[in-house]
Amino acid sequence: MTLDVIFKLLMGGMGVTVSIFVLTLLFSIPLGLPVSLARMSKSKVVSAIAGVYISIMRGTPLMLQIIVIYFLPFYGFGINVTSGYRFVAVIIAFSLNYAAYFAEIYRSGIQSVPKGQYEAAQILGYSKAQTFVKIIMPQMFKRVLPAMTNEIITLVKDTSLSFAIATAEMFTIAKQIAAKQASLMPLMAAGIFYYVFNLLVAWVCRKVEKHYDYYKI
């Protein structure tokens, strides 16, 4: 099998990889915020529940979470699932996992905003909701961008873990071709794809960071 053919086959899997990446960010970035707020809640029960969720998501392997979510409908509730559920299970697992990481990033960003900002908003007559949306969130967003960039870049590589339930993303296809051809060439080609994708994601993230940079000289 020539390199051209290998690249064409991998391009099919690349579409699935990009879909996992985009959908995970689409769900996990907003989901992380309410989880973060729950973690900082004055209610000990709400805070504890959020803390346990974050601890489980960050303390267990993502691959295990994918497998559990895929098999849970059948072994937990006796529901038969179709092969199409594989992709859905991957998105659910990735979104829940990354939401936990983003929640902690948000929490650190919110807590780093000086208390004086809250007091100034109160003097100006802002409600708690207005203070958070108009004053705290913009500052938090700028502060957490570098940490979010690291997580987003990690996500590019983590998409390969979906092979655990035979989701036909790029790494799975590369492994199948490599096994048939008894060659490392497909895996090396997949590595090139991941590297280029990561470079593109890192470039976009740097542009966003630079746009919101406080400390331009």
Domain boundaries, the chain: 3-211
Average pLDDT over residues 147-173: 82
3-state secondary structure 102-122: HHHHHHHHHHCCCHHHHHHHH
Residue-wise pLDDT for 36-78, tens only, equals 999 999 899 999 999 999 999 999 999 999 999 999 998 888 8
User: What integer pLDDT is reported at residue 43 of this predicted model?
Assistant: 92
The length of the chain, given as a count of residues: 217
As a whole-number percent, the residues of the chain with pLDDT over 90 amount to 34
Question: Residue 156 in contact with residue 201, Cβ under 8 Å?
Answer: yes
Residue 166 pLDDT greater than 70, yes or no: no
User: What integer pLDDT is reported at residue 15 of this predicted model?
Assistant: 82
CA nearest neighbour of 7 among 198, 203, 190, 213: 190
Residue 214 pLDDT greater than 60, yes or no: no
Maximum pairwise Cα distance, the chain? 71
Place of tokens 């346990």: 52
Name the pTM for this structure. Answer: 0.85
User: What integer pLDDT is reported at residue 93 of this predicted model?
Assistant: 95
User: What integer pLDDT is reported at residue 61 of this predicted model?
Assistant: 93
Name the amino acid, one letter, at 102.
F
User: What integer pLDDT is reported at residue 172 of this predicted model?
Assistant: 73
CA nearest neighbour of 161 among 97, 101, 103: 97
Quick one: tokens of 170? 């790029």
For helices 3-39 and 185-211, angle between their N-to-C axes, nearest 10 degrees: 40
User: What integer pLDDT is reported at residue 168 of this predicted model?
Assistant: 65
Gap between the Cα atoms of 156 and 169, Å rounded:
12
Question: Residue 170 in contact with residue 162, Cβ under 8 Å?
Answer: no
User: What integer pLDDT is reported at residue 3 of this predicted model?
Assistant: 65
* Residue 212 CB partners (closer than 8 Å, separation 6+): 141, 142, 145
> Could you tell me which CATH number the domain at 3-211 has?
1.10.3720.10
> Lowest-pLDDT range, 16-25, 129-138, 147-156?
129-138
